[in-house]
Structure 1
């Protein structure tokens, strides 16, 4: 007998697969478990006794012979040209900001600017660069010993305060799988007013999910699992007995095992420890008890006060965060279903999807029937969980901790935060639903009431046999791209929440992996060109005319053969400056890497040139981000920051970061 268990690394690889993996019995697809979708309500625990009994029993039902199922859910805009505010320096140049989903809601990134300074963090070191002199004026090492290199970190900045979000684990794996090892997350508050210095360090239990900042107030979402030590694994103990032993351990665990902990160190080195109170933890009607989401609140203008991070928790999973000025949404994508299969022999067969060129999930072996001497009974068909997404909404319109509003469920899986959009009292949600056997898929947009998250309308049938590659909601209109061999760009009329509808469809080769609003009636797409059979050929930038919702058309296409861009999966890497139509995307191809500089106007996309950095390889020289500051383009790579003239692209300065 051989036990087949998929690892977290396998799960990360499956994140890019077009269909979900299932196992079959005698060639028959397993039947999905029926589920009741619609509004669900969170219920707060009355106290620690209530919390403990509920979490113990729910978690015991999820325990396996190896402990908890530790595989986390698989886990990405308008570029606002900032105006000079009344209290800003009169000499502050116009500048771009981080490319974010919602205007006025900042998102963490590796570099920030206020026009006078560029602040970035790399390898555990924060640096401040003066934009006038183009020199590093301050630096601060945030890690000890040799732990800096490779530590991923992002920034949020308000005035003279920066919050550095540090997490363990490789950044690429983090972005694919949506989690980092527990205990490796730190939030460091830094004073930037003079020589940068640490004001406080916050270590929450669990892994960093994401954060949003409105004004100077940051809401941070972390995920934690109960701290329970299971008995040592022994080969001579049956799986059934191991499950019983593990369940017994769970049912005896104290409430403290679940309560998320937090440790705050102030500037003097004094340490304060706390945990989320039982009555500040809520749960949905159906939950596993194996994961808790915690929302922390920090006002950068005030720093960490006596209230600490004022945390509240929810007994749920979550891997996608979307925020508006008054709402914070945390969505829990369905887990990839990975049954434990006992088989002899256990063989995984790799496969590819000919139409898309992507790696397809490996096929599970068919389980053997248990030996029965007299009257063999067929093995029962495995029951797989429904593919559905939970969405939780919190009100962040007031200072202090957010308040829970409602929760809801929709069928299918989200692509990223752009699959969510709040507008006119409703939340629009775009998902792809894959059949249990992985052979069929279809996408839909659901409209939910924002105050209850009850469903009011839906439009389905998008991209039969395909999956969503990009989504963008702009006011009452939605745009959705699905892909397998050709790229249907759908336009959606969402004005009537009870009756959303498809108004137009454009089929072209390739796909757009990111959609960005351009000038009036224009939509920009960043993605890949593909052959008629679906084989990707290289980066393409498309300009669509969407002024007529019934007849979207492509006005212009710029194609770079055998190339790729991180802007396809990381919108923060895309720069668009509406004032001049300037756009920059990172580009990696066989012969060179750098920043592809474009001019995008009402009629077309034009290549202006490439900005290249010095470096020994494409990783060091590859462009990660681009900023507009005054009349210059600032680009960031691993080795440094380069400044180029925005009109001529002539190099003006090189600022090393190593």
Structure 2
């Protein structure tokens, strides 16, 4: 129910107008993708200004008139033969950018506005050996490949420095605009040579107006997704005002220089009927060939969630119902998800197809590709007379994103909390009062079906494969005794039933009768784990049985009832040994606070402050944990503290 309510609020906050009239006369198709492109600059401007007039837009900045105020992996093996952990990714072979990476000898960490390069192995020699910090650039995530590092971040472009006119809103009487610097948010991507870790060399910078969504790395090519929203005022824009600008610079120490349109009007595709509110750019960069120009595929649209296989990338965008002036839903217009597919080859992304399904998705794990078919799990949110009327579905689409099969109306009155596709099966968790884990057969794409289900108190927010017949779940425990007399309109009573962080191991060998074989509950009501909502924070290595997750623990005082919020007593990492025979066995706990008193005095409790552990990894027999304040080493056998490398120091 909690996520359903949030989904309804999101629906109200992000009303998506689906009934825009077509704005392009005639049709010219791109010879490679087959996607229609704009026939002229005027056609592009018309599409966007008509959308803006209907309210389907952002804030527009024009160069020739007044403007509004600016909008502010599983274990690998190093060359020395020592095993180490990689980023926990969705698809094997498709890396995902993160705030920390390792190559088995060095660890690279984003902390604040700096990237730290640490010699990590062997542990006794661990030290910070280098760092990257650029004024005006905020790093977010990174990839590494041998002696190359690419970092994604954000910066700002000042209009007066880039050839953009700098103008204030026109005076009401004179109509004359004044001059002032206009700043626009930009995605900035920087490629470094890190052969000398103590002195990284900038090889290339790529900047584009917009916001960074996510990225993937396949081989030595990286693909990143950017949303760009024009800003509108009441003046006559030209195409160059609307199309996002970019620049690509070899060498240097910082980005500078004028921006150019990321594409011309006839290189920008759209899906009829055109709904022109934003631009979606799929860009690609080689980490090896610095002279290779960054690839840029631009379509009208935007993205919320991304799934990528070895040769395809799918961008999902929710389309919420549109309403007429009297508040009634427009006919034939329902909550849905639009999926746009791009093929990936030779470091280039090419538009392939677009499809649409009913409902909205939870996250990237609600999507999957298998044997040429695309599978997607959705929830259609609904709330009538204080009752949840949501329904859940799994749709199977063919390579052209045309409907191939569907399983609909699963678990009425509940919402999807977790999904994991594993080959010919899918595992889906829905939740209202108990945690139904559904086992779904997808071996026949035209006829998906439920094989079995398990109902237990609590729910899972994230599912991690243990092997082909076992799943690890992480979410929340629910106390049925608190929930027993629930009045549906009393959400406060409902929420008090949710207790501590729950770890579970499910056996799905008998698909008709899945069972929960082990469970572990951490803390009381108020306890949280970042791993439940961010899979990159979850560390699991089946070979060694190592399982590590960051937790913020809330604990009740003796005698306090379970429906009360606990007091925050710990933030750090819980380290377990997990086996099929023994279940979850705690090995130890790691914290970056020197004392519990220091944690409580941080004044941030739930968030843990700069000492909040957000990631963990291992190299050999050493566990490395990461927070904004430091990189810490612990012995995996004894859990003894080995060394602390504070950030901010070399």
Tell me the TM-score normalised to structure 1 length.
0.77
Tell whether the 8 Å contact from 1:33 to 1:383 is kept in structure 2 after alignment: no
From 604, 608, 612, give the equivalent of 1:622: 612
Counterparts of 1:95 and 1:42 in 2: how far apart (Å)? 51
Counterparts of 2:410 and 2:281 in 1: how far apart (Å)? 35
Aligned residue runs from structure 1 range 489-568, under 5 A: 489-532=437-480, 533=483, 534=494, 535-562=497-524, 563-568=527-532
Secondary structure, in 3 states, of the residue corresponding to 1:489?
Answer: strand
Counterparts of 2:115 and 2:360 in 1: how far apart (Å)? 36
Secondary structure, in 3 states, of the residue corresponding to 1:331?
Answer: strand
Tell whether the 8 Å contact from 1:287 to 1:316 is kept in structure 2 after alignment: no
Unaligned segments of structure 2, at least 5 residues: 21-26, 61-72, 157-182, 484-493, 554-567, 600-607
Output one character per residue of 1:169-196: Cα deviation in whole Å (capped at 9) or x when no partner. Answer: 9xxxxxxxxxxx9523211112111111
1:258 aligns with 2:242: yes
1:414 aligns with 2:406: no
Q: What is residue 6 of structure 2 aligned with on the other side?
A: 17
Q: 1:110: Cα distance to partner? A: 0.3
Secondary structure, in 3 states, of the residue corresponding to 1:19?
Answer: helix
Counterparts of 1:225 and 1:255 in 2: how far apart (Å)? 13
Q: What is residue 352 of structure 1 aligned with on the other side?
A: none
Counterparts of 1:219 and 1:209 in 2: how far apart (Å)? 11
Counterparts of 2:37 and 2:611 in 1: how far apart (Å)? 54
Q: 1:531: Cα distance to partner? A: 2.4
Q: What is residue 365 of structure 1 aligned with on the other side?
A: none
From 633, 639, 651, give the equivalent of 2:641: 651
Secondary structure, in 3 states, of the residue corresponding to 1:101?
Answer: coil
Counterparts of 1:400 and 1:519 in 2: how far apart (Å)? 32
Q: What is residue 307 of structure 2 aligned with on the other side?
A: 322
1:444 aligns with 2:393: yes
Q: What is residue 159 of structure 1 aligned with on the other side?
A: 146
Tell whether the 8 Å contact from 1:466 to 1:484 is kept in structure 2 after alignment: yes
Q: What is residue 184 of structure 1 aligned with on the other side?
A: 186
Output one character per residue of 1:587-636: Cα deviation in whole Å (capped at 9) or x when no partner. Answer: 00121111011111113222222111135432222211000101111110
Counterparts of 2:443 and 2:88 in 1: how far apart (Å)? 26
Output one character per residue of 1:390-431: Cα deviation in whole Å (capped at 9) or x when no partner. Answer: 1111110x2142121111000000100000000011011000
Q: What is residue 435 of structure 1 aligned with on the other side?
A: 382
Q: What is residue 214 of structure 1 aligned with on the other side?
A: 218
Q: 1:549: Cα distance to partner? A: 1.2
1:469 aligns with 2:455: no
Tell whether the 8 Å contact from 1:598 to 1:608 is kept in structure 2 after alignment: yes
Tell whether the 8 Å contact from 2:435 to 2:459 is kept in structure 1 after alignment: yes
Q: 1:555: Cα distance to partner? A: 0.2
Tell whether the 8 Å contact from 1:264 to 1:272 is kept in structure 2 after alignment: no
Q: 1:268: Cα distance to partner? A: 3.4
Structure 1 residues 80, 48: closer, same or farther in 2, change over 3 A? closer
1:142 aligns with 2:134: yes
Counterparts of 2:521 and 2:89 in 1: how far apart (Å)? 25
Q: What is residue 543 of structure 2 aligned with on the other side?
A: 579
1:608 aligns with 2:602: no
Q: What is residue 118 of structure 2 aligned with on the other side?
A: 129
Secondary structure, in 3 states, of the residue corresponding to 2:531?
Answer: helix
Q: What is residue 27 of structure 1 aligned with on the other side?
A: none
From 281, 286, 295, give the equivalent of 2:268: 281
Greater length-normalized contact order (CA 8 Å, ≥ 6 residues apart): 1
Output one character per residue of 1:49-79: Cα deviation in whole Å (capped at 9) or x when no partner. Answer: 61534433433343258783569xxxxxxx3
Unaligned segments of structure 1, at least 5 residues: 1-12, 24-29, 36-40, 72-78, 170-180, 232-248, 342-378
Structure 1 residues 558, 49: closer, same or farther in 2, change over 3 A? closer
Tell whether the 8 Å contact from 1:51 to 1:255 is kept in structure 2 after alignment: no
Structure 1 residues 52, 168: closer, same or farther in 2, change over 3 A? same
Counterparts of 1:648 and 1:470 in 2: how far apart (Å)? 34
Secondary structure, in 3 states, of the residue corresponding to 1:600?
Answer: strand
Counterparts of 1:319 and 1:648 in 2: how far apart (Å)? 43
Structure 1 residues 22, 222: closer, same or farther in 2, change over 3 A? closer
Tell whether the 8 Å contact from 2:457 to 2:479 is kept in structure 1 after alignment: yes
Secondary structure, in 3 states, of the residue corresponding to 1:59?
Answer: helix
Aligned residue runs from structure 1 range 43-442, under 5 A: 44=30, 50-64=39-53, 68-69=57-58, 79-84=73-78, 89=79, 91-131=80-120, 132=122, 133-144=125-136, 151=138, 153-167=140-154, 183-194=185-196, 195-228=199-232, 230-231=233-234, 249=235, 252-268=236-252, 271=257, 273-275=259-261, 276-305=263-292, 307=293, 309-335=294-320, 381=328, 383=330, 385-396=333-344, 398-435=345-382, 439-442=388-391
Structure 1 residues 182, 446: closer, same or farther in 2, change over 3 A? farther
Counterparts of 2:257 and 2:4 in 1: how far apart (Å)? 39
Counterparts of 1:159 and 1:652 in 2: how far apart (Å)? 27
Tell me the TM-score normalised to structure 2 length.
0.78
Structure 1 residues 300, 141: closer, same or farther in 2, change over 3 A? same
Output one character per residue of 1:281-340: Cα deviation in whole Å (capped at 9) or x when no partner. Answer: 1111133211110011101011253x2x12110111211111111111111122486x79
Counterparts of 1:54 and 1:142 in 2: how far apart (Å)? 40
Q: 1:197: Cα distance to partner? A: 2.2
